[in-house]
Amino acid sequence: MLTRRQFAGGSVALVSSGLIAERSGIGEPAPFSTPLPIPQLIDAAKQGNAVKLKVTSGRHAFIKGKPARTYGYSAPILGPVVRMRRGDEVEMTVENALNFVTTVHWHGLLVPGNNDGGPQQLIHPGDTWRPVLTIDQAAATLWFHPHPHHDTARQIYMGLTGMIIVDDGSDAWLGLPRTFGIDDLPIIVQDRMFNSDGSIEYDNDDTNPLEVIYGVRGDTIIVNGAVAPFAKIPPGLVRLRLLNAANAQNFELRFSDKRTFYVIASDGGFLSAPVPVKQLTISPAERFEILVDFADGKPVALETGPDEEMGVFGRVAPDGSADFVAIMRFEPTAITPTVNELPTRLVEPAAVSPASAVQSRQFILNSGLCASRPGGGEHANSPLLIGINGKPYDIGRIDVETKLGTTEVWEIVSLGMAHPFHIHGALFRVLSIEGAPPAAHLAGWKDTVLVEDKAQLLVAFNRPATREHPFMYHCHILEHEEAGLMAQYICA
Ligand code: C2O
Ligand code: CU
């Protein structure tokens, strides 16, 4: 088998199957022996809308008895789930207790550019950042993570990821499962490569174009920081807030018995009605809320399959095989509360009309090798171009100027491989994707979309951003973002 190291020095013709065959030597962990860790819930309103986060390092044993060095937000790894109510102003206090610079970006939260935590908003070691976040958007599952240019990927890989729940009261009147940690669970899915001593280490050679394009992927899936955990849940409907917080990997989620489950929300909030599916692709930074019916009382595994969107790299499952792997197990147990009724309607997203757009723009996502050398082969070492419309990211350049309160049509074209495209400070609707109208679960408000070939988005610009603190738009494969697949816009 080809190891990733050999791959990194080799040619593209060799990469088809062995990319992540480098085994970490951790041995197979006894599956489903660790309870699913549930992050601490911070209900902002219950503490006077003042929330403190300490960005810190810690130790966390992914593998029993082998603690690893990690980073977290007020926790050894990951961070709390912060619930914020629509209409509130939340005073955040973010202390950087690490010995390097970071930022905290509220991914999906609609706040002005100067509170967005982008690459300009550095929090130096020992410093504290105090943004006041005005919460004014529909109920949704969001997240937060670092965004310093050239160190985002490593910091997230080492553990810096937290979740935000925006609550606007609709959960209650829709009768949805909403008891945090019982029938309403955060499910943060990531892949990691572990060393034999159980440690993780961010390992990306950014001088190697192939390695950059492939991104950092691992052979072991962690859910809320645990390898193959189990969760006891009530024998009824359970709501899972799925977040793909991987650096590069798309997950293909399904249940081991192929049961139908229901997508109720995407990045920006509820869909108009539950969408029944048997399998769900979730790309880096996307969120979906799903309802799963466990009323049959049978334990079932959540699985992920081969990443179908690997471009020249082919189709590879996280463990290097071409099959599905179980990433956690659900065990129905007699606990209350139990919600049994699947709602028929949710929240109709506002009607949007492309005719209202004041501008159309096209963004070509370049991931150089594939763009310039289709098929790779002997020219695999050609100069790397990773950028948007031929330009790599420049923190001093404003790429686009938008007008507050307007909508625009953005056409996104991926070259070479699928890219999860994300826009800060705005939500969009997918008008078309790969030449067709979006599937029902992609038809609501979103902030990230996986574009394999081409998508047209109707973007609503409702938050201001200045030259000093512009909004980013970028590919959420973190190695692409850092190599330059990012740009910035202002809005006034
Ligand atoms: Cu998840 Cu630029 O962000
Ligand atoms: Cu990309």
Asked if the structure places residue 347 within a domain, the reply is no
Q: What is the mean pLDDT of the chain?
A: 90
Task: Give the distance (Å) from ligand 2 centre to CA of residue 479.
Answer: 8
191 and 151 in one domain? no
pLDDT at 20 over 90: no
Q: Tell me what pLDDT residue 12 has.
A: 35
Closest ligand 1 atom, residue 118 Cα: 2
Q: Nearest C-alpha to atom 1 of ligand 1 is from which residue? A: 107
Burial string for 395-430 (b: 16+ CB within 10 Å, else e) reads eeeebbebeeeebbbbbbebbbbbbbbbbbbbbbbb
CA gap 266, 441 in Å, rounded: 7
Helix/strand/coil percentages in the chain, nearest 5: 10, 40, 45
Q: Please work out whether the CB of residue 285 comes within 6 Å of at least one atom of ligand 1.
A: yes
Burial string for 149-169 (b: 16+ CB within 10 Å, else e) reads bebbbbbbbbbbbbbbbbbbe
Q: Please work out whether the CB of residue 105 comes within 6 Å of at least one atom of ligand 1.
A: yes
Sign of torsion over alpha carbons 296, 299, 304, 305: negative
Select the more confidently predicted residue: 117 or 319.
117
Q: Please work out whether the CB of residue 424 comes within 6 Å of at least one atom of ligand 1.
A: yes
Closest ligand 1 atom, residue 448 Cα: 1
Q: Nearest C-alpha to atom 3 of ligand 1 is from which residue? A: 107
* Residues whose CB is less than 8 angstroms from the CB of residue 356 and which lie 6 or more positions away in sequence, other chains included: 407
Nearest by Cα to 164 from 268, 246, 93, 60: 268
CA gap 334, 164 in Å, rounded: 29
Domain of residue 368 covers 354-491
pLDDT at 18 over 70: no
Asked if the structure places residue 349 within a domain, the reply is no
**Mean pLDDT over residues 175-187, rounded?**
97
Q: Over the stretch 118-171, which tens digit does the pLDDT of each residue have?
A: 999 999 999 999 999 999 999 999 999 999 999 999 999 999 999 999 999 999
**Mean pLDDT over residues 270-286, rounded?**
98
470 and 419 in one domain? yes
Closest ligand 1 atom, residue 472 Cα: 2
191 and 124 in one domain? no
pLDDT at 369 over 90: no
CATH code, 395? 2.60.40.420
Select the more confidently predicted residue: 274 or 25.
274
Task: Give the distance (Å) from ligand 1 centre to CA of residue 346.
Answer: 27
Q: Tell me what pLDDT residue 152 has.
A: 98
Confidence bin at 10 (pLDDT 50/70/90): very low
Q: Please work out whether the CB of residue 472 comes within 6 Å of at least one atom of ligand 1.
A: yes
Q: Over the stretch 69-126, which tens digit does the pLDDT of each residue have?
A: 999 999 999 999 999 999 999 999 999 999 999 999 999 999 999 999 999 999 999 9
Asked if the structure places residue 117 within a domain, the reply is yes
Query: Which residues on neighbouring strands pair with residue 164, listed in sequence order?
Result: 82, 142
**Cis preceding linkage at 332, omega within 30:** no
pLDDT cut 90: percent of the chain above it: 81
Last-in-domain residue among 108, 140, 172: 172
Q: Please work out whether the CB of residue 145 comes within 6 Å of at least one atom of ligand 1.
A: yes
Asked if the structure places residue 140 within a domain, the reply is yes
Q: Please work out whether the CB of residue 239 comes within 6 Å of at least one atom of ligand 1.
A: no
Asked if the structure places residue 196 within a domain, the reply is yes
Nearest by Cα to 390 from 454, 484, 453, 312: 484
Confidence bin at 30 (pLDDT 50/70/90): low
- Which ligand is closest to the CA of 475, given by its number? 2
Query: Which residues on neighbouring strands pair with residue 491, listed in sequence order?
Result: 402, 465
Tokens in use for 55?
A: 């960005």
**Mean pLDDT over residues 231-248, rounded?**
97
Structural domains of the chain, count = 3
Asked if the structure places residue 345 within a domain, the reply is no
- Which ligand is closest to the CA of 483, given by its number? 2
328 and 386 in one domain? no
Residue 257 CA, chain-centre distance (Å), reads 26
CA gap 243, 288 in Å, rounded: 7
Q: What are phi and psi of 123, to 5 degrees?
A: -110, 110
- Which ligand is closest to the CA of 412, given by its number? 2
225 and 136 in one domain? no
Alpha-helical runs (H) found in 118-169: 152-157
Task: Give the distance (Å) from ligand 2 centre to CA of residue 269.
Answer: 24
CA gap 483, 470 in Å, rounded: 19
Asked if the structure places residue 342 within a domain, the reply is no
Q: Tell me what pLDDT residue 383 has.
A: 62
pLDDT at 315 over 80: no
Which amino acid would we find at residue 95? E
441 and 414 in one domain? yes
pLDDT at 6 over 90: no
Which amino acid would we find at residue 218? G
Q: Over the stretch 380-418, which tens digit does the pLDDT of each residue have?
A: 444 678 999 999 999 999 999 999 999 999 999 998 899
Task: Give the distance (Å) from ligand 2 centre to CA of residue 53.
Answer: 30
Query: 434's torsion region: left (phi>0), alpha (psi -120 to 50) or beta?
Result: left
Task: Give the distance (Å) from ligand 1 centre to CA of residue 115.
Answer: 14
- Burial (CB < 10 A; 0-12, 13-18, 19+), residue 171, is middle
**H/E element holding 368?**
helix 368-372
Q: Please work out whether the CB of residue 287 comes within 6 Å of at least one atom of ligand 1.
A: no
Closest ligand 1 atom, residue 424 Cα: 2
The lowest-confidence range among 79-83, 296-300, 315-319 is 315-319
pLDDT at 204 over 90: no
Which amino acid would we find at residue 223? V
- Which ligand is closest to the CA of 214, given by its number? 2
44 and 98 in one domain? yes
**Mean pLDDT over residues 441-457, rounded?**
98
Q: Tell me what pLDDT residue 316 has.
A: 75
168 and 42 in one domain? yes
Q: Tell me what pLDDT residue 16 has.
A: 34
Task: Give the distance (Å) from ligand 2 centre to CA of residue 28.
Answer: 31
39 and 141 in one domain? yes
Last-in-domain residue among 302, 332, 362: 332
Q: Please work out whether the CB of residue 254 comes within 6 Å of at least one atom of ligand 1.
A: no
**Mean pLDDT over residues 13-41, rounded?**
62
Q: Please work out whether the CB of residue 422 comes within 6 Å of at least one atom of ligand 1.
A: yes
Asked if the structure places residue 486 within a domain, the reply is yes
Tokens in use for 12?
A: 């593209």
Nearest by Cα to 424 from 204, 121, 216: 121
The DSSP-derived string for 182-216 is: TTEEEEEEEEE-B-TTS-B-----TT-HHHHHH--
306 and 437 in one domain? no
- Which ligand is closest to the CA of 452, given by its number? 2
**Mean pLDDT over residues 277-281, rounded?**
98
Closest ligand 1 atom, residue 474 Cα: 2
Last-in-domain residue among 332, 365, 395: 332
pLDDT at 459 over 60: yes
377 and 318 in one domain? no
**H/E element holding 167?**
strand 162-167
198 and 272 in one domain? yes
Confidence bin at 373 (pLDDT 50/70/90): very low
pTM of the model: 0.92
pLDDT at 21 over 80: no
